[in-house]
Amino acid sequence: MIELSHSVSGGQIGTELANDEEELGYTLVAIAEAGIDDTAIADFLTTNQRREVCDLCNSIALSLADD
């Protein structure tokens, strides 16, 4: 039996997803279905990161609303 273990940080996962639109799309669906606690997520972000994430989410929402 072979056992493999690999650890990655959230930043590494985010970078990989940012470079793969298909996987990012699947991830966004999974997050939406899970019903995340956005207030809890905000606790892990700095003020600038909150603004960047908010801008991204608004951009995605506007893009999807145009369909």
Structure confidence at residue 4 (pLDDT)? 86
Structure confidence at residue 38 (pLDDT)? 87
Structure confidence at residue 35 (pLDDT)? 92
Mean pLDDT of residues grouped by 10 in the chain (67 residues)? 90 94 95 92 94 94 85
Structure confidence at residue 25 (pLDDT)? 95
How far is residue 11 from each of residues 3, 62, 67, measured CA to CA in Å? 25, 25, 30
Structure confidence at residue 24 (pLDDT)? 95
Structure confidence at residue 67 (pLDDT)? 59
Nearest to 36 by CA among 44, 20, 49: 44
